[in-house]
Chain A
């Protein structure tokens, strides 16, 4: 399963590499009529009880238009999977949700993204508390080169979430338990987090993210660097975390999207092509591009 996914990934890269260099190529092809597709979003973009609401989001990297007019809702306590070929803007969009793109100098974002009622791109919004509310897990496990304890305790410490050492100990323990790592590391919390295996490191990063008690957790291909067994552990974990958190996950692995998510969004070259319940999107895609991608007919 994992190896299939890997080979799929490489073929995508070779297919899409020229697109990254000359994004205009597509629009030229569009106007020439060789590849005419309606790129407006189909499916159920909006939900009733949304935790995050995105309207007309555009992202530019310098001159490159990376995200084109995307509107989508993220429901409460749901797992939203974002799939699509490499370079299609899934990660870029994900990083808009907690303003991680702010750290990129050339990046420009327009449109509105609401977390509950708060417009996170409002000038008055401070990114520090925002990121405490919207946590993030990255593609490659990136624990701090510190002890396991310090990795998990870092977030609560800087935000002042624990008033005493015992309270902090409690936060660390419960976070590690939620991340399913407690049993494996409870006797060596003072060991460096970088000494764990890849899967354990990724769970440590998840523990670090949930230690701040965010409302939303963003996961950017959290299993792409892990073996199938570690992947399965993380997937089970995601299902458990869903009870408390809203999760947005970017993945290249369509089976994974099908397994863990309730809703799936398909991105293609900066456009949001289709959104819908995961079952519906995988069994009955309405857009041709979605169907091509899901059936592996791509390229």
Chain B
């Protein structure tokens, strides 16, 4: 009797077993599929940005025979000399057959307006070259660059093109003569923003981002950790503390542009802080990042086993000693993860910074916390909005820089975590 009953139990179990295993297989397949899908999408993103942005790291330059004519520098101020004329005369000597003002202007347009700045810089650094004649690689116009990179199609009607048939003819002649060449685009990494794509660089935005994030990190990490420690370890349970907790959680869900409006109203209008400054940007992003850091830090503190606290209390450690000697070091990796997540959010944030004027067109590379500047995501936004074809690839290149920043920040976070965990 009993044996028979036990068999039916086994039969029942076996009958259900196949279904249980099927469910498990399906679940695993589903999970694997989700992972593959996300990797594919991520790959697609990287490939599309990479393919679009990669050409931006090369820039077409034109080899010109520049004659630093002594007569041109017969002025009081070397800065005020007509460097554009040097470029123009060089171009004229390349194409002596070009006559007429309109045609000449078209010809001159093949060289970037930044070429004269390059020459001025050369002269300012070494006045000895005045009077000599040199072959110099100078930046070509972005349209020339686009033609060489194949972004301007020759088969569309001339009126729909930014380059005329005549200009394309000149470019072809220059290419054949080996006077046009794609070179590594150092300008992109050393210059600030510009209306001319070939002169525009990411340096200003990178510096702006670094200054802004420095402020954000310096403020949000200590304040966030201190808040979390107080709420978790010291605060007595009361209705006020509950209210504070609820509000911190709510703040984490507030749209970031609201923080921008707050920054505009408080930091700019009441405190009169400078517009477009990384200082204010950092303050606004601190407000935005704080809830993230506090919530993550509290979770990290909660995950420290109570037995460690008891052990420390048991040997007579004071509350502060328990926290600083035992709880904080154990919670630190979790806190740093939260901070890095918050900083990554802050690095990619655009909306609140628009409100405090960090969207302004700023050519100079900022050199301090109060200099007007922009940040990487805002720079991407500005370039994505620009009509010139050459800004498309620069937008993607800037995104690549931003992603590189994010990845290296995460790498630093992982490194720091490992280091901290090994110490304990």
Give the interface of A toward B (CB within 8 A).
Answer: 98, 100, 103, 105, 127-132, 135-138, 140, 142-146, 154-155, 158-159, 192, 205, 208-209, 211-212
Contact = CB atoms under 8 A, between A and B. Distances in A.
Contact of A144 (B312, B313, B316, B321): B312
Contact of A209 (B313, B315, B318, B424): B315
Contacts of B309: 103
A138 B316 contact: no
A105 B236 contact: yes
A132 B311 contact: no
A131 B311 contact: no
A132 B316 CA distance: 5
B4 interface: no
Given A142-B307, A144-B308, A100 B326 contact: no
Interface of B: 236-237, 305, 307-318, 321, 325-326, 330, 424
Given A105-B236, A144-B326, A146-B424, A138 B315 contact: no
Given A138-B307, A145-B424, A103 B313 contact: yes
Contact of B315 (A140, A192, A208): A208
Contacts of A144: 308, 311-312, 326
A207 to B, nearest CB: 11
Interface of B is mostly: helix
Contacts of A132: 315-316
Given A138-B307, A145-B330, A158-B321, A212 B316 contact: yes
Contacts of B305: 142
Contacts of A140: 307
Given A105-B236, A105-B237, A158-B321, A143 B311 contact: yes
Contacts of B311: 138, 142-144, 205, 208
Given A155-B315, A158-B325, A208-B311, 4 more contacts: A128-B316, A136-B314, A142-B305, A159-B316
A128 B317 contact: yes
A204 B181 CA distance: 73
Q: Which of B307, B309, B311 has the most CB of A within 10 A?
A: B311
CB-based closest 5 A-B pairs: A131-B316, A142-B307, A155-B315, A136-B314, A132-B316
Contacts of B318: 128, 158
Given A105-B237, A144-B326, A135 B307 contact: no
Contact of B313 (A100, A143, A145): A100
Nearest to A102: B313
B62 to A, nearest CB: 64
B315 A154 contact: yes
A131 B307 contact: no
Given A138-B307, A144-B326, A98 B315 contact: no
A144 B326 CA distance: 8
Nearest to B236: A105
Contacts of A131: 313-316
